[in-house]
Amino acid sequence: MATQKKKACPVDAAGMTRVDYKDTAFLKKFLTKFNRIIPRYYSGTTLQNQKKLATAIKRARYMALLPYVLDVKFQSAATPSETVVETPAIDENSVAV
């Protein structure tokens, strides 16, 4: 049976020595669709880098660079400016006088 090679830490593979809380594009890679932090065993990060990532994500949330949670049911709905309301045409024969 062949042994699997350990995958490299994505933070180390990116060549980052510090994880910056202002780099939201990089931090979003380690969040689920509900903005929860992805665990180590899914992301493949080392323990030290996972702690740095968690701290950076929490700081970005506190500074309002990332949202704490996403409400999925409201995200897919149209915004009020995009909502088109059509009024039906009034038929003169159906109007009672």
Residue 89 CB-half CA count within 13 A: 3
C-alpha distances in Å from residue 19, one per residue of 8, 33, 50, 56, 89: 17, 21, 10, 7, 59
Which among 76, 32, 77 is positioned nearest to 57, based on CA atoms?
A: 32
pLDDT of residue 5: 78
pLDDT in tens, 41-92: 999 999 999 999 999 999 999 999 999 987 766 655 555 555 556 666 667 6
Q: Higher pLDDT residue, 89 or 5?
A: 5
Sequence ranges of the domains in the chain:
10-70
Q: Considering only the top CATH level, what class is 10-70?
A: few secondary structures
Kindly report the number of other CB atoms within 10 A of residue 49's CB atom. 19
For the cut 90, the answer to whether the pLDDT of residue 2 exceeds it is: no
pLDDT of residue 70: 79
